[in-house]
Structure 1
Amino acid sequence: MFERMYELEATQVDFNDLSKYVYQKYGLKFQPAIPGSKELYVLMSPLDSSYFAMMSRIKKDDAGIDGPGHIATLDLRCGDFSDMIRDLPGFTSAFRLKSKDWVGVWLDRGNDQAIKNALDYAFKLAMNGDKLNIADTQYIYVPGEKTDEKYQEQKIKPRREVIRRNKQKQVPDQIQKMLESYDYSILPAKGRAKNFYNQAKMMADYSEEYDQPAAFKRYYPTYHDMMVPQLRTYFTWRKKIREGKFEKTSTSYAYVYIYELLNNIGVKNSDDGFEKLNKFKEYYAQKYDVEIVGNLDRWLKDYVLYYHLDREKVNQVFENEIATDKDYHVLLHPNDYSISELVEVFKRLSPYLSTCLSYKKLGDNFDQVFAEIWNRILVLKRKNNISFFSKYVAHRNLLVENLFTGAVFYPQKNELQSYIIDPERKYLYKADKWYVSVLHPVKRQRSELNTFIHEVDRLMRIKFRLGRPLKPRKLEKVFLQAIETGIDTYQQKVEDAKRPKIEINFASLGQIRADASVTRDSLLTDEEKQLEAEEEKKETQKIKESNPPVEKEPQTKETYGLSKDELFFLMSLLTKKSWQDYVKKRHLMASILADNINDKLFDEIGDAVIEFNDQDQPEIIADYLPDLEEMFLSDEGE
């Protein structure tokens, strides 16, 4: 059966022999995973029909091996024992199932007896309901029956092509010593990084001149995962990198080189390692493999922390974080900065501010008013002692920070130290763990701050009589009162500044007034006194006539300047109703309607509210859906 399925080179374990072994020993046969499939065969437990072995073939290219054709693989469910055998020669992570309970086997590399032992173990585990006790169970199984003796092993004379390949696969002495140094006594979960580090030190100065490069594909790659041609390819490529010749290669080789640098292999000191990592990022990753850049940026931060590099390097790798933290620090300590710096921070966090009417009309005065408002907002506390800043801007967290996550890194004996990046970001090292104290932006930060600025703009329009009134948005009453108080305080300061400063002796003021009143009354005739009374009455009447009572205008549904077609289009998107027929009959374009709506609602929202998705269909931006529903669908908006 398997002869027709696979055309493979000579292997240490033949598919026919393996299937024969399974049938003779367990009375089981490999079955297609899917009826008619010729790619994947499985062994099922006689107890519950669950899979405990999978035999398949994988394209060489998918496995990182040059050349056409396929390789033979076997996946076995060995439970907790998988970790103990995963790094044995010929064994690896499972090919088909990404589970720690499964282990993979390269049938063209593994030892015949080791593979059968592992298969025996998987069978026993399946037959015992996953309750196999390794300590009380014989691992090496000795079959009780004899196999068919008419088939005898015979040595096959190698072909010329095989001889040529064997010559190409000759192992240099240094590589051979490195391969033999692998310590299988350490479980892979702990020893993989240690083995890599020890082997990397052995090969730190090694170089190759190999002219038959082999591809390599593997997650979290190490030397142990490479075949000899791949090792020789890597050390040839690494030599060129060290000479300043950056050539494209398999991504897995690039990661092995990065792991070496993170472990300070092949560098003079940590400063040299930092420079080499940045150089590799600039001349290789950004040019040939941009997906590596994200990991490199993260590991560079870990590198400066772990090796405690100087402030200049910290500022370099944490540049974006420091800028964000600076904005938050300005908001929390506005009196330490200028008013213009405070306003600039809000302009970065809330696009509504730069476009609102009060900002445009009041100019520099807006900054002064806003500073009064923010100083009052900042000291207020909501229920449960939650401030405006922690609810709507950012909240502080203390999190466990795992350095070099996703990299093969072996920690060395190093005097690890805490590091203060800036006043708002601190890395702490305590009890063998790293922690980071940092301000994290709240969810929907921009939308929430747009609402705050909208209310500032709305109340400023009323107080300063600017433009048309805006419809209120939801904001806690305590914060609305702080906005009004801030505006009133500014206006009072302006009025006070206009008044001339006159010094009055209040001790004699009363006597002066009394004397003046007596003198004045004594000089007026009765006729003049009567005329004065009539004049005062007329003046009072004029004041009443010039300030008639304000009649309330009847409330109408607010359309915010939208046309009938634009309003229908927006309401259809909000209520998820069809709009296509309406637009088609009126010869309208959805893109133009969306642009007009975005423009007309910008003063209210401070951002575009409609965007087109990957299918080129219009939809409401999720962040602004609650605002638009309140404006157009709530009872208040009707």
Structure 2
Amino acid sequence: MDSNQLFKYVYAKYGLKFEPIIPGSTETYVLMSPVDSGYFAMLSRIKINEEIRAVLDLKCGDFSDTIRDLPGFTDSVRIKDAAWVGAVLGNNDNLVKKALDYAFKLAMNGKQVNVAQDQYFYIPPDDVEEKYKAQPIKPRKNLQKQADPDIPDKIRQMLKLYDYSLLPQKGRAKNFYVQARFMADYEDNYAEYFAFKRFYPTYHDMNIGQLRSYFTWRSKLRKGDYQKTSTSYAFVYLYELLNNVGVNPQEGYDKLLDFKHNYVEKYDLAMEPYLNDWLKDYVLYYQLGQDEIDNCFAQEIKEDHDYLILRHPEDYSTEKLVAVFANRSSYWNTSKVIKQNQAKFTKLLKCVWRELLDAKKFGIAYYSAFVAKPQVKQQDVFLGSVFYNREKKIPTQMVDAARKYVFMNGTWQIHFDEPVKKQKTNLNTFLHELDRIAREKLKLGRPIKPRFIDQAVLKAIDAGIAVYQEQQEKAKIDQIKIDFSDLDKIRANASVTRDSLLTDEEKELEQEEQKQVEQKKEIEKPAEVKTDNESGLDKNEMFLLISLFKNQPWQDYVKKNHLMVSILADSINEKLFDEIGDNVIEFDEDNQPQIIEDYKEDLEDMFLKG
């Protein structure tokens, strides 16, 4: 039955006409009660699976819950009210006519419910002043369908499992779950094929031909033979997997992915958004582990990672912070001054951003006000599917450090950072002001006009630039180093200068002293210098090290060779650091070098034995 046939049926049976809700419109029509002119039916044309279908909404009062659970019915499409039900024309037209009849009777009886046994016909008014009353018509005989002898016993038994005593809101999902478990291993090989279209489809919505068509298609699919079928059949198969019918959680996850790649991506891409959302719920509800979570929440994790960097810049490198700004704003990549001073602005940005996040100091919660705000959203588990929650207890599931799912009574409480409106504009404004003030304070380019921004942000920028400048000054001090490469030449030049200033008498005295020193060295037998070592010590360094170890004099040798004992000691410590892991020579209170007692044994093994 299409909309035109419905118009004729309503007029022939009730004497009423559908009227467009807006004059001249062909999209939505209403059927008004002759008693109070209130709507009791609404016909709409909507797009379902790329096809324009006629949907009829009916006002059936308290009986709506029962009608909604019948094959061919669903929630109302246009009017979101528990007293209304919806039906797609062309599905179970006989039941639709009965529901329409009930809605008409209810409208004619002032919403009284004791109308099941009466049939009314409304005669529209004409120019005559006589008033007509609705007259009861004898009901038609109930024509029962004879049982189909070709119904397989398994299907016949499954149909008997449906519990009509359950309320539709939860009973529909439970009945589907019970029937699905019963049919988990059933296979069929039906020669005919019947199409099937239904919102939130279940077995209960199918006739025998549709049931056999579905189970035949499912039997082939389980053997790897993927064939195009009605979208409603495909959703029923997904509902089975979401309820873990015939599979364990890991098998169900693998089959969902397999169905996505081999059916959805080839035949029905309109199903992909639903399946992607259900996969996320699936890995959390059945607690499959972090690898599966990372796979299903890849986009969310990538987004959350940016927010984690923005919220906790101290935990990440400066380069990663810059990458987030470059990705989430346009100003960073377009400012010529920033491009020309990339290294400087990279360090400057982190200093300023850390100051800006200090809300207590400047009286502004910049991150939550201008970037992203922590939110909690409640959402049904496997939203938009037929899923029976078995009162399962699930611990809190962490997607990442910024997103978690808390399970409560069949729903998720999702904690996440939601980007604020105009986030990109806010970040661009912040970067513009950072650029403007940095130009002024660091002399980086021509001045630019200010943009409107909170004064607390300007204070944070000033404070951040001050921190940056302090860091730069400290870095300059740390970078001061003494270059010892020319010390030998300086010493030699100093010695020549000194000799030129000595008198002949002073020179003779010095020579005499030198002879006495040499004679003393002969007697004391100074340490032999071992130059073939693996530590890279040169002859002078080896001399000092061995002399200190044997408590022998070293002063004359150092003086004669124009050396500085502090430099020799530093060089020895540096070359032996990798081997010993610490300095081996230190200076006492008299500023005299000595070997640290703890390392004498190690040094003896390295330089004296053998």
- TM-score, normalised to structure 2, is 0.65
Give secondary structure in 2 for the equivalent of 1:438: strand
> Would you say 1:464 and 2:445 are equivalent positions?
no
What is the alpha-carbon distance in structure 1 between the residues aligned to residue 417 and residue 270 of structure 2?
A: 27
Residue segments in structure 1 that go unaligned for 5+ positions in a row: 9-14, 23-27, 65-69, 156-162, 503-638
2:592 is aligned to none
Stretch deviating more after TM superposition (253-262 or 207-216):
207-216
2:61 is aligned to 79
Residue identity over aligned pairs, in percent, reads 46
Contact 1:220-1:408 at 8 Å conserved across structures: yes
1:473 is aligned to 451
Contact 1:381-1:388 at 8 Å conserved across structures: no
Per-residue CA deviations over 1:300-355 (Å, capped at 9, x if unaligned) read 11111211221211121122222222222222222222222222222222232133
2:15 is aligned to 29
Return the match for 1:406 from 384, 391, 394. Answer: 384
1:284 is aligned to 263
2:396 is aligned to 418
What is the alpha-carbon distance in structure 1 between the residues aligned to residue 49 and residue 404 of structure 2?
A: 46
> Would you say 1:429 and 2:407 are equivalent positions?
yes
Letter in structure 2 aligned against 1:126: A
Structure 1 position 249, deviation (Å):
1.9
Structure 1 position 501, deviation (Å):
10
1:380 is aligned to 359
Letter in structure 1 aligned against 2:198: R
Give secondary structure in 1 for the equivalent of 2:256: helix
Residues 242 and 450 of structure 1, relative CA distance in 2, 3 Å threshold: same
Per-residue CA deviations over 1:465-502 (Å, capped at 9, x if unaligned) read 33332221111122112213322332344345445999
Structure 1 position 81, deviation (Å):
1.0
1:371 is aligned to 350
Residues 102 and 423 of structure 1, relative CA distance in 2, 3 Å threshold: closer
What is the alpha-carbon distance in structure 2 between the residues aligned to residue 421 and residue 107 of structure 1?
A: 44
2:117 is aligned to 140
Per-residue CA deviations over 1:79-127 (Å, capped at 9, x if unaligned) read 2212112334676666997865245598995779x966x5664344213
1:521 is aligned to none
1:48 is aligned to 36
Q: Residues 176-575 of structure 1 correspond to what in structure 2 (within 5 A)?
A: 176-267=156-247, 269-381=248-360, 386-430=364-408, 433-498=411-476
Structure 1 position 30, deviation (Å):
3.8
Contact 2:397-2:406 at 8 Å conserved across structures: yes
What is the alpha-carbon distance in structure 2 between the residues aligned to residue 291 and residue 51 of structure 1?
A: 34
Residues 464 and 254 of structure 1, relative CA distance in 2, 3 Å threshold: same
Residues 333 and 241 of structure 1, relative CA distance in 2, 3 Å threshold: same
What is the alpha-carbon distance in structure 2 between the residues aligned to residue 281 and residue 172 of structure 1?
A: 31
Question: In the comparison of the two structures, how many residue pairs are matched?
Answer: 458
1:628 is aligned to none
Residues 484 and 247 of structure 1, relative CA distance in 2, 3 Å threshold: same
Give secondary structure in 1 for the equivalent of 2:218: helix
What is the alpha-carbon distance in structure 1 between the residues aligned to residue 380 and residue 42 of structure 2?
A: 36
What is the alpha-carbon distance in structure 2 between the residues aligned to residue 473 and residue 348 of structure 1?
A: 22
Residues 463 and 243 of structure 1, relative CA distance in 2, 3 Å threshold: same
Structure 1 position 40, deviation (Å):
11
2:492 is aligned to none
- TM-score, normalised to structure 1, is 0.62
Per-residue CA deviations over 1:220-242 (Å, capped at 9, x if unaligned) read 11112222222222212212221
Structure 1 position 44, deviation (Å):
4.7
Structure 1 position 423, deviation (Å):
1.8
Letter in structure 2 aligned against 1:439: D
Contact 1:91-1:106 at 8 Å conserved across structures: no
Residues 375 and 54 of structure 1, relative CA distance in 2, 3 Å threshold: closer
Contact 1:217-1:252 at 8 Å conserved across structures: yes
Contact 1:398-1:438 at 8 Å conserved across structures: yes
Residues 346 and 89 of structure 1, relative CA distance in 2, 3 Å threshold: closer
* Higher RCO structure, 1 or 2 (CA under 8 Å, sep 6+): 1
Contact 2:119-2:138 at 8 Å conserved across structures: no
Letter in structure 2 aligned against 1:140: Q
Contact 1:79-1:102 at 8 Å conserved across structures: no
Structure 1 position 200, deviation (Å):
0.9
What is the alpha-carbon distance in structure 2 between the residues aligned to residue 108 and residue 379 of structure 1?
A: 62
What is the alpha-carbon distance in structure 2 between the residues aligned to residue 372 and residue 38 of structure 1?
A: 63
Per-residue CA deviations over 1:47-100 (Å, capped at 9, x if unaligned) read 223454689999999999xxxxx99x9875312212112334676666997865
Residues 115 and 332 of structure 1, relative CA distance in 2, 3 Å threshold: closer
> Would you say 1:125 and 2:106 are equivalent positions?
yes
Give secondary structure in 2 for the equivalent of 1:298: helix
Letter in structure 1 aligned against 2:335: C
What is the alpha-carbon distance in structure 2 between the residues aligned to residue 57 and residue 341 of structure 1?
A: 51
Structure 1 position 434, deviation (Å):
3.1
Contact 1:297-1:317 at 8 Å conserved across structures: yes
Give secondary structure in 2 for the equivalent of 1:439: strand
Give secondary structure in 2 for the equivalent of 1:400: strand
1:633 is aligned to none
Residues 205 and 371 of structure 1, relative CA distance in 2, 3 Å threshold: same
Per-residue CA deviations over 1:235-265 (Å, capped at 9, x if unaligned) read 1221222122222222211111111110001
1:549 is aligned to none
Structure 1 position 443, deviation (Å):
0.8
Per-residue CA deviations over 1:157-213 (Å, capped at 9, x if unaligned) read xxxxxx9xx99x943322222223222222322211111111111211112223332
Residues 490 and 85 of structure 1, relative CA distance in 2, 3 Å threshold: closer
Letter in structure 2 aligned against 1:398: V
Give secondary structure in 2 for the equivalent of 1:401: strand
Per-residue CA deviations over 1:566-613 (Å, capped at 9, x if unaligned) read xxxxxxxxxxxxxxxxxxxxxxxxxxxxxxxxxxxxxxxxxxxxxxxx
What is the alpha-carbon distance in structure 2 between the residues aligned to residue 198 and residue 460 of structure 1?
A: 69
What is the alpha-carbon distance in structure 2 between the residues aligned to residue 148 and residue 375 of structure 1?
A: 82
Residues 146 and 241 of structure 1, relative CA distance in 2, 3 Å threshold: closer
Per-residue CA deviations over 1:371-410 (Å, capped at 9, x if unaligned) read 2111211113488x64111111111122323211111100
What is the alpha-carbon distance in structure 2 between the residues aligned to residue 105 and residue 365 of structure 1?
A: 65
Contact 1:215-1:250 at 8 Å conserved across structures: yes
Residues 314 and 485 of structure 1, relative CA distance in 2, 3 Å threshold: same
